[in-house]
């Protein structure tokens, strides 16, 4: 939370300090989310690679087939979250600016 407003010479200075702190915390949170997403993606890719190598050695292994399918689903979920977020941001921009997203963007998101 920001310091008390009494400690600042003007309300504008108080809000500038609050805004600066908010932006710093937002950037830190965004960096943590990116890092977590990278870890999750690399873990899923590693599992996929291990399952593929196991399947290459023994194609009839049911557990390796299941692990392969699970890793594919996990990677698809990571990608779908990114696309859903992009679609939501495009919709928010459309509402804020009163404009429609470009046809190329909407076609790509579909």
- Report domain extents, the chain: 10-109
DSSP notation for the chain: -PPPGGGSSSHHHHHHHHHHHHHHHHHHHHHHHHHHHHHHHHHHHHHHHHHHHHHHH-TT-HHHHHHHHHHHHHHHHHHHHHHHHHHHHHHHHHHHHT-PPPHHHHHHH-
Q: Is the pTM of this model over 0.75?
A: no
Averaged pLDDT, 80-103:
73
Cβ pair 17, 3 in contact under 8 A: yes
Higher pLDDT, 84 or 40: 40
- Per residue in 37-82, pLDDT (tens digit) is 899 999 999 999 999 999 999 888 899 899 999 999 998 888 777 7
């Amino acid at each position: 939370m920001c310091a008390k407003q009494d400690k600042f010479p003007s309300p504008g200075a108080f809000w500038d300090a609050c805004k600066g702190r908010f932006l710093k915390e937002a950037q830190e949170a965004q960096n943590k989310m990116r890092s977590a997403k990278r870890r999750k993606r690399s873990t899923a890719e590693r599992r996929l690679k291990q399952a593929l190598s196991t399947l290459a050695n023994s194609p009839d292994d049911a557990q390796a087939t299941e692990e392969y399918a699970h890793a594919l689903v996990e990677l698809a979920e990571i990608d779908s979250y990114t696309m859903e977020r992009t679609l939501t941001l495009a919709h928010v921009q459309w509402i804020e600016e009163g404009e429609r997203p470009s046809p190329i963007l909407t076609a790509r998101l579909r």
